[in-house]
Amino acid sequence: MKALTFQRYGKSPDIGFSEVAPPTLQPDEMLVQVHAAALNPIDNLVTAGTFKPILHFTFPATLGSDLAGVVVAVGRRVTRFKPGDEVYASLFDSGKGSLAEFAAVPESAAALKPPHLDFVQAASIPMVALTAWQALTERLQLRPGQKVFIPAGSGGIGTMAIQLARHLGAQVGTTVSAGNIGLVSSLGANEIVDYKAQDFSQVLRGYDAVLGTVRGDAIEKSLNILQPGGRIVSLVGPLDARFAEARKLNVILKLVFGLMSRQIIQRSRQKEIDYGFLFVRPDGAQLAHIGALLSAGSLRPVIDKVFPFDQAQAALAYLAQGRAKGKVVVQIR
């Protein structure tokens, strides 16, 4: 079968199309004919080797995590799905990839595709929706009436997280360029800062939570807008010892991650703020709940551009520019 693969980590990962053997199913997996696969910024970070100590692949490795497609076969332990079911899932952190004609999908990672969404729309959902759900509900424990800051509101994570935060009853602040103010306002953002004209840390005040989505000094600046008792959950680092413990990483990595995050944790504690790093996990049960919210109209996909499968490398390059409004999706069938 045809798949978009990379051969190694680093500056020359040798990304290209390969003919690879169809996946061999484990008892708890399904063979899914992939109709569409969405891209995420971490796809480019993976090939660069940024997460080499954490994510493990066998080369040549298939790229991508999000997918939507049709079940064509199931392992003997699969009970919730059958051939012909239309599903969507995230394969992130599984050593598998979605940018292929077929994918082996763990039953626990999948949910039925919301019937009102087509495959392209459904493929755009899993990673960003699961990230937003796990960050806002599990880690930030966002409650009605609280204020949450979600920078880069027009990006893939931002467009979904803003919607979910508003569904949870929170007030939302965000940063975008002037041309995207209308988009994030339509999604539910309350306080919108044009990052090209103003520094958000000089404008926003009284926030309860921050979802860190922007690299650089944005995390440290976020300390200035939070109230004592506030929380920061970062998707971009620095990684911390708590994350290493949760993944049962070795002592050396625990020490390294602790050193990486020491400064932000110290500054956070001085202001009575909790800092933590989040690595999203696949979760089919959460995707089923998110699917219900999509069907009810509480959430909607935001898609910037759709590329055909043979232009998947161009899609990765486009995403790397950092200008996408919502998600970038590759249509495979």
Domain boundaries of the chain, sorted by first residue: 2-125+301-331, 128-277
% of the chain at pLDDT higher than 90: 87
Q: Could you tell me the fold of the domain covering 128-277?
A: Rossmann fold (3.40.50)
User: Which residues are registered as beta bridge partners of 150?
Assistant: none
Report whether 126 contacts 280 (CB < 8 A): no
Residue 235 clears pLDDT 90, i.e. is over it: yes
Distance CA 138, CA 147 (A): 16
1.10.10.60, 2.40.50.140, 3.40.190.10, 3.90.180.10: CATH of 2-125+301-331? 3.90.180.10
* Structure confidence by residue, pLDDT tens digits, 219-234: 999 999 999 999 999 9
146-193 pLDDT, tens digit each: 999 999 999 999 999 999 999 999 999 999 999 999 999 999 999 999
Q: What is the DSSP letter of 298?
A: S
Q: What is the mean pLDDT of residues 125-133?
A: 98
- pLDDT bin (cut points 50, 70, 90) of residue 249 is confident
End-to-end CA distance of the chain: 13
For 19, the token pair is: 């003919």
What mean pLDDT value characterizes the chain?
95
80-107 pLDDT, tens per residue? Answer: 999 999 999 999 999 899 999 999 999 9
For the cut 90, the answer to whether the pLDDT of residue 216 exceeds it is no
- What's the rounded Cα separation, in Å, for the pair 217 and 192? 19
What pTM was estimated for this model as a whole?
0.95
